Structure 1
Amino acid sequence: MNGRRVAAVVSKEWREIVRDRLFLALAFVVPSMLMLLFGYGLSLDVENIPFAIVDYDNSATSRDYAYRFIDSRYFDFQGYTRDESALARKLSTNELRAYIVIPEHFERRLLNGSPVAVQTMLDGTFPSRAETTKGYVIAINSAYSMELLARFAAARRGISEQQAAAALTPVRLDVRYLFNQSLSSIWSIAPKLIMVILMVSPPFLTALGVVREKERGSIYNIYASTVTRTEFLVGKILPYVGISLVNAGILWALATWHFGAPFKGDFVFFLLASLIYVVCTTGIGLIVSVVVKTQVAAMVVTAIVTVVPAALYSGVLIPIPSLSGQAQVIAHLLPAMYYANIVTGTFLKGAGLETLWRDVAVLSAYGALLLAVGFLMFSKRPRS
């Protein structure tokens, strides 16, 4: 392989990228825009849930119970009402996500030691959000019930409410969240967005860059030149690998500085792992460019083979252990999952090569395989 010829191909490709403003924007602007759009729009935090309260008892105890929800940062109180049919309509129009119905004689029954059923109506169109909201309601209700029991036991035994509460809960559960103490979804999503964008952008650039030569007919100059197949493909791929590595650094800066995701790992290791991943995804674009003949076909095929794996089989939205058996097999056959493990480990856990070497090894083998297949499929002889 002649280094001068490779450098000539690299120089030619870079001039083509700079000359085409749309392609230049696709290379450098679109990845950052995707990071910002998805970073703001893709939030899994369930907070400020709009809800209303129907209080048929209107007693001091019922108001105290209702205030536990009103004062919670997870709920956004929209007011009291007794028109349940109006609340049902507001649930259907998304003005509310929940409402609570406190029955009559709420206070009297509690003071008499009788149980009371409080009804909660939740919007179940988003099951995960509804389950989380249900968990909030159960937690607030349990805390209030325990407080009432402690107050009752303290009055009966002549002890303090703190002593009564300790006696009623002999086993106390202390939960500590590791790696993401605030349970902020953006801390987890921002690193994985780097994986998604680097899964989509490099194949697009590579596929369009090679197919563009076919559409313009300039590929015949390569067929007739002394540049070998290896020199052409290496020179063609190197600019896109370099651009994607620069984008990886920009996306890292957006994730850490703009969205506030903590980075606890080694930045050099992150860049090296990103380079291996970019080689993998560039290899996907190379294979697509050999198969298709037009830029439109290249965009369609690339979108199919990159967006779906990045969104569904990488763990960015659904944890891999929660997938079905067949889906887990597919996830392990794709590079996105392994790089998702790397970015999550380096950002949140401070993990390095000693922990993530298996994922790095799989990505390296994957990249070598994809590039080998692409090189073998490409021919300098024009196909009829």
Structure 2
Amino acid sequence: MGLVKKAIKFLLSDTWIAGFSRLIPIVFGFLAFYSWDDFRTWFDENVGATLLAKVVFIGLLFVSAQWVFVLRRAHLELEPERDQLRSNLSQVQSELTELRNGMVPVSPEASFIEGISLYISSLSEKGRDRHVLRLRDTLSRHLWVEGLLRARIAVGDAAANAAARLGDDHKQIAALIDDLGWTLVAMEKRTLAKEKIELGLKIAERVGSPYWVSKAHRHLAGIATIDRRFKEVYEALQKSELAADEIDDDKQKAEMLGGIKYATAVALLFEGKYEEALKFAQESADIRDQNGDVTRSVRSYALRGKILLRIGDSTSRGEAEAVFHRGLREAQSVGRRDEIIRNLNGLAKIAELKEDPEAAVAYKAQANEMIQETPVPYELLDKL
């Protein structure tokens, strides 16, 4: 039985096929010229009796035999690749099946973001730069407040390029520093954010726009705060304040100074200097109150409440609770949903510390319900 298997294996081997392919024409040549009268008679009658006919016939046999060998070799060489292709195809089919089974429908939010991105890209390609800038003016704040950051990046990028082509420095600066710079910070892309802000800062310095110079330095201070590079934070805030002092418009100046005080308080909170942080938070609130900027002034409550909680003694906790309650009322009165959420979360923390789980759950439930409706805009305070 073993000999039979070996014989079959040999007959199917490349060595046997190669030999056989050369043996065929030799055998037929011998038969055609020297052997078997009947075969020679048949050959002469059907193929030809001349030497040329015999040579051509034998040549064709030889070529045919060689092609058998070549095709067999090609088949053997391609077989591993064919098997691999079959395996790959099977894997792709399996993955497609999994994708079909687990495919998640595209959300309306994702469709909106994609639509905005495609639309503004189309406007840019058509050279409708002023339309792009009008769209940025209309949508920028909404996209930020609603947490649609990718859409804001798309709009900001198109607006920055459109403004550059039109030579509108101020629109370009705004897009670079706010729409791109600070939004990229919110998306945790701080290196790229810094590049955009610094480019906007460079243009703002060139055209002499102290408002945007101040804001750029304040944003750079925010990035440094996240990275806890506090020396860099305070240097940037000092530059921001120097630029703010040069702003001619009193309201814009007060807005910027209030923001600088707020940013300083946040940095001090990050650094663990709570008493100083509390002082700057109050100064920020005072400046904004004097400026009639109630929508920004209300932000100080959640900040002060969090600082008081970090101080940690019972007196500070009591003050924190009062601050959060006041902040909640003020935020509700001006419609600052993000600050409503922050103050609710602060009150939930107070309830936990007072070992009142029912109140804590109730406050958190209110906050979470609002978060489902409106994402909270990015805020450094929420990083703690």
**Which structure shows the bigger proportion of residues in helix conformation?**
2
- What TM-score do you get using the length of structure 1 for normalisation? 0.21
In our comparison, the structure showing a higher alpha carbon Rg is 2
**Which structure shows the bigger proportion of residues in strand conformation?**
1
Structure with the greater relative contact order (CA < 8 A, sep ≥ 6): 1 or 2? 1
